[in-house]
Amino acid sequence: MVVGLQWGDEGKGKIVDVLSENFDIITRFQGGSNAGHTVIIGDAVFKFRLMPTGALRGKKVVIGNGVVVDPFVLLQELESLRSAGFNIDLLVSDRAHFITPYHIQIDQLQENAKGNQKIGTTKRGIGPTYADKISRIGVRASDLLTSLDNPQWKILAETSTSRIQELHHEKIEDSTLKSLDAYSETMKQIAPFVGDTSEYLNSAIDAGKRILFEGAQGTLLDIDHGSYPFVTSSNCVSAAASTGTGVAPTKLDSVLGITKAYMTRVGAGPFPTELQDATGEALQARGGEFGTVTGRPRRCGWLDLVALKYAVRLNGAKYLAVTKIDVLTGLNPLKVCVGYEIEGTELKTIPASSVEYSKAIPIYEELSGWSELPKVSDSDAYSSIPTTMLDFLKKIESWTSSKVAIISQGPDRADTILVPDVLPDISIDV
Ligand code: GDP
Ligand code: IMO
Ligand code: MG
């Protein structure tokens, strides 16, 4: 399983792509089209929002019941991958909740109503769709395919209309109504891909197939464990792979957590190590830190080992992939956060309250930087890693008690180093 250990955009898409050859099936289990996973292969750039990244390797791709699905986005991704020559073998859970144009309008209205308390959502309808799921008024693939006239759909339409009118004093936008017209047509095209994914995945496990669970967002955006309320509306930690696919926890295997060599965050919320200076700007420029979905600039800062340790604990991440290590090249000294000071008290973990957390002043330790990257074309690239980079990685390992298994030093598939003898039964295909 691959999960993000920060506020998203850790490079999950790239790492899943590199690992996919070792697996038969790649499945998403939470989130929706708020995700943006970029994979770069030579000159070709692929951006995924819903489709599991394994689609590029011709693998069976599954969208589990824990995902909220925007059928327009799904169809558009299907079509663009097909027109790029990929043969897509997709299965979407009949129990997955579907995002409707109402949800998108409500997401936008809720954000606007918050004034300066905005979360900075991706405005893709994620929160309202999960809210309706929990309130038991949502619509699932199976409801939609039965008929768009069924009672569940009617309840949703009525509730959404009154919420938009009474709570926000707005009328349903023309664009919402227009897309509702197109909705049933789109559902018809998605229908052949809908089925019982839990049954499928469990049978595949029984038949000895290997499944890679692809996380979206990141642990610090998790609805329970993240910096609430500045979070997304799903559980993003590894445990969600089980509820989000219907594969029991006893059948899940190792967890690989992805962390950048520094931190980024899109949207609002506490970020103790944020750098609002030239170093922050340098990280943003070198790392190309602009949102895949919204194009918003990502806030940047030093690696936070307190937050990383917290995320590793929540996910049980025995293995780590450290990405974007190239972005730190030439910076000297490097800083890593090893504690917080909140109103005179030192803290070694993340407080529950975001009000408290936003007062955290990072306590830093300095490490020496490196000026060159190892040559990934060398068959033994790992042994040519500069000692200062090794020290940086060892610092991460000693803080988290996890093993660094993959080092990523560029966006391309090829810019990847597999640390020898760490991940059992895994090779990387670049
Ligand atoms: P995800 O949401 O976790 O899949 O991450 P995104 O794809 O949204 O953001 C990561 C960005 O960094 C993408 O543009 C990747 O192409 C790029 N990327 C991934 N790994 C590396 C790396 O090691 N170095 C650099 N410079 N870029 C990387
Ligand atoms: P990937 O999978 C980074 C952030 C949004 C906002 C908050 C809530 O690419 O790592 P939402 O639309 O989910 O209700 O927004 O969560 N967010 C992400 N930030 N990467 C993502 O996904 C994100 N998905 C949501 O910016 O702060
Ligand atoms: Mg992303």
Residues involved in catalysis? 9, 37
- pTM above the 0.95 mark? yes
Closest-lying ligand 2 atom to the alpha carbon of residue 221: 16
pLDDT category at 376 given cuts 50, 70, 90 is confident
pLDDT at 122 over 90: yes
Per-residue pLDDT, 345: 97
Cα–Cα distances (Å) from 295 to 40, 52, 298, 388, in that order, read 17, 21, 9, 34
Binding pocket residue ranges, ligand 2, CB within 6 Å: 4, 7-9, 34-37, 119-122, 124, 126-127, 216-218, 221, 232-233, 266-267, 292
> CB under 8 Å to 355, separation ≥6 — which residues?
none
What number of other Cβ atoms are within 10 A of residue 364's Cβ? 17
If you average pLDDT over every residue of the chain, what do you get?
95
What number of other Cβ atoms are within 10 A of residue 192's Cβ? 9
Per-residue pLDDT, 170: 84
Tell me the C-alpha distance between 264 and 426, whole Å: 29
Tell me the C-alpha distance between 201 and 213, whole Å: 11
Per-residue pLDDT, 257: 98
Radius of gyration of the chain from its Cα atoms, rounded to whole angstroms:
21
Ligand 2 test: best mutation among 221, 228, 265, 323, most atoms within 8 Å of CB? 221
Q: Which ligand has the shortest distance to the CA of 266?
A: 2
Show the domains of the chain with their CATH numbers.
2-83+198-418 (3.90.170.10), 97-193 (1.10.300.10)
Ligand 2 test: best mutation among 53, 217, 231, 237, most atoms within 8 Å of CB? 217
What number of other Cβ atoms are within 10 A of residue 114's Cβ? 14
Does residue 411 line the site of ligand 1, with CB under 6 A? yes
> CB under 8 Å to 350, separation ≥6 — which residues?
227, 306, 307, 310, 357
Could you read off the pLDDT of 238-258 as tens digits, one per residue?
A: 999 999 999 999 999 999 999
Could you read off the pLDDT of 336-369 as tens digits, one per residue?
A: 999 999 999 999 999 999 999 999 999 999 999 9
Average pLDDT over residues 2-28: 97
Helix (H, G, I), strand (E, B) or coil at 259: strand
pLDDT at 69 over 90: yes
Could you read off the pLDDT of 168-213 as tens digits, one per residue?
A: 888 888 888 888 889 989 999 999 999 999 999 999 999 999 999 9
Distance in Å, CA 216 to ligand 2 centroid: 9
Average pLDDT over residues 12-29: 97
Q: Which ligand has the shortest distance to the CA of 129?
A: 2
Percentage of residues in the chain with pLDDT exceeding 70?
100
Distance in Å, CA 264 to ligand 3 centroid: 11
Distance in Å, CA 43 to ligand 3 centroid: 19
Closest-lying ligand 1 atom to the alpha carbon of residue 47: 7
Tell me the C-alpha distance between 143 and 140, whole Å: 5
Does residue 324 line the site of ligand 1, with CB under 6 A? yes
Q: Which amino acid is present at 335?
A: K
Q: Which two tokens stand for residue 6?
A: 């920060």
Contact 34, 216 (CB under 8 A): yes
